[in-house]
Amino acid sequence: MLYNKPKRLGLYFHIPFCLSKCAYCDFFSFVPTNEELITRYINALITHMEEYENAAEDYTVDSVFIGGGTPTCVPTEELVRLIRAMKKNFNISKNAEFTIESNPATVDMHSLKKLRRCGINRISIGLQTGDNNELRALSRIHTRAQFEQSYRIAREAGFTNINVDLMFGIPGQTKESLMRNLRYLIRLNPEHISLYNLKIEPGTPFDLHRAELALPNEDEEADMYLAAVEYLNVQGYPQYEISNFARPGKESRHNLQYWRCGEYLGLGPAAHSFMEGRRFYFPRDLEGFLNGNAPADDGAGGGFSEFAMLSLRLTEGLQRKSCETRFENGGALFDGVLEGCKHLPKNLIHADYERISLTAEGFLVSNAILAEILPG
């Protein structure tokens, strides 16, 4: 590789606690048995954080993401303690993007004002759907009214950068109900919208009761996705990644750090990292993390196939100039991918001398396209 070691670093902190486990969720999360466990966990995050102080000293952190789980179900004092330790151990840019995930049932004005004063400047609210029947089908613990209240509180607490998560492919959902959700959300004018399709993960309650779920079929899901992409683009939320849409200039810096193959450090069970050309992760083992177990090595990262795959998740796509900057034979590598695109239908991919990118239709079958055009 030709590029020098990047000086920018993203930080991710996994908070695995929730008030209730959703029936579709496969993330490493659970309901804590007591507050002492939460305190022990924050202590462990801080201890692991300190172990990386020297390794990260040459980096400037320009994005921080506290995810879960539901970070806002943790006592605010514990989150403040984590943030203070973070600022002590890392060189965090003054204009860093600093995000926390939340459930509408777990926020109040006092806690959000406190988090805002600590430097958190972006909040991601897990709405999933504005239809109360669909919320019940997902076993969510909040209502549409609670979401509206949490959104208003976030604005009043000083958050000028809000993401809202939506899902499609929900049991009983139709394209019409999805579009109602989008119109409802657009009226609130968030800066960023993440739109994910429901995936039935092995071993979840949804998986065990799949036959009882009134799920849309693949064609119906595809129609939902394409209609949503078109509508959001028209409403001033250009798509910049398979599942993400934003007002211009409000794209998630943390997301882009991942998809542009930048470096990041993830702390917590199931959290992944990419630093110094190596990938590593903490296993899905709470006790092991609490006891100070080291992360597991996941091999070398940042090679061309990985870089191309991640780039093609973005609407900006894979660019010749980026390949030539990053890899010694980047131009030839780009040409190899370009050659593989020649036989693909134009409605799935745009490919020319400078750039290769998938269309919205192409994103629907991206795994098949990538398997065909990228080197093994």
Instruction: Convert the pLDDT of each residue in 218-253 to its tens digit.
Output: 999 999 999 999 999 999 999 999 999 999 999 999
Assess whether pLDDT exceeds 80 at residue 166.
Answer: yes
User: Residue 69: is the preceding peptide bond cis (ω within 30°)?
Assistant: yes
| Amino acid found at 113 | K
Strand 122-128, strand 92-102: pairing: parallel
Reference 53, options 90, 85, 87, 94; nearest CA is 90
pLDDT class of 4 with cuts at 50, 70, 90 = low
| Amino acid found at 249 | G
Q: pTM (2 decimals)?
A: 0.95
The per-residue pLDDT for 135 is 95
pLDDT class of 375 with cuts at 50, 70, 90 = confident
**Helix/strand/coil (H, E, C) string of 338-359?**
HHHHCCCCCCCEEECCCEEEEC
CA dist., res. 362 & res. 273, Å (int): 28
CA dist., res. 316 & res. 12, Å (int): 24
Domains in the chain: ranges and CATH: 8-258 (3.20.20.70), 303-376 (1.10.10.920)
The per-residue pLDDT for 7 is 85
Are the CB atoms for 161 and 193 separated by under 8 Å? Answer: no
The per-residue pLDDT for 118 is 95
The 3-state DSSP class for residue 65 equals strand
The per-residue pLDDT for 323 is 97
